[in-house]
Structure 1
Amino acid sequence: MRCMSSDTTYRGAYKVSGAFCDRPQIMRFGILRSLAVGMPFIFVGSMISRTGAELLEEYDIFTPQDD
C-alpha cells in the first residue's frame, strides 16, 4: 500500500490555531468565462466530426444502411 507523505496532508477548514480559514475567492463571471472557453472547443470538435463523417461517406468507407 502506498502512503502519502506528511507534507501533502489536507488541512481542512481550520488553521493550526483553531480558527476558520479565509473564505475562498469567488471568480467574477466564472460561468460566463467557462462558457466562453468551452463553447468554441465544442463547436470546433463538432465541425471536425462532421467533416470526418462526410469524408467517410464520400469514399464509401462507412455508409449507413437503410433497413
Structure 2
Amino acid sequence: MLNLVERELRRLWIDDGGQGLTEYALILGLIVLAAVGGVTLLGQSVLNLFEYVADKEIFNATLPVSKF
C-alpha cells in the first residue's frame, strides 16, 4: 500500500501536463488586471479630454449655407 502511494506521489510530482494552461491563465489574469487598472486610472482623464474637445467653438460652429 505504501508503495502505491509513493508511486502516485512521484507520478504527480513529475507530471506537468497542466502547467502550460495554468501559466497562460495566470498571464491572462494579469493582463486583465492591468487593463482594468489602466481604464480606471485613465478613464476620467480621457473623458475630460473628449469633453474639452467637444466644447471647442470650432466644432459647434455651423457651416454657411450657399445661396444657389
Q: Same-fold call, TM > 0.5?
A: no
- Compute the TM-score of the two structures, normalised by the length of structure 1: 0.44
Please identify the structure whose Cα radius of gyration is greater: 2
Instruction: Say which structure, 1 or 2, has more relative contact order (CA 8 Å, 6+ apart).
Output: 1
